[in-house]
């Protein structure tokens, strides 16, 4: 992907990523198709369902002038969750 330009300021945006903290680790956020569904474990809330779906890592771009952040999910990098 070419470096996107801020739609407001028209300057080149800076590439980055959105960290997601989980059980003592930091991972990259992903895009998941469809509405979120809560998972249950012995009747208690246990996060969100993501079994057997394809997810794409999010690529984030930030404008250095106004701070606008845009996220993109590109289908060439599918991750399968089991």
Give pLDDT, residue 79.
54
Question: What is the percentage of the chain residues whose pLDDT exceeds 70?
Answer: 85
Under 8 Å between Cβ of 42 and 19: no
pLDDT (0 to 100) of residue 60: 94
The overall pTM is greater than 0.85? no
Mean pLDDT of 21-41: 86
pLDDT tier for residue 16 given thresholds of 50, 70 and 90: very high
pLDDT at position 80 is 53
Separation CA 32–CA 34 (nearest Å): 7
């Amino acid at each position: 992907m070419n470096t996107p330009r801020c739609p407001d300021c028209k300057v080149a945006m800076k590439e980055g990523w959105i960290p997601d903290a989980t059980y003592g680790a930091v991972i990259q956020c992903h895009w998941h198709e469809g509405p979120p569904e809560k998972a249950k474990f012995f009747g208690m809330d246990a996060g969100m369902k993501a079994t057997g779906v394809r997810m794409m890592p999010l690529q984030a771009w930030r404008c250095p002038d106004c701070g606008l952040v845009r996220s993109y999910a590109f289908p060439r990098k599918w991750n399968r969750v089991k």
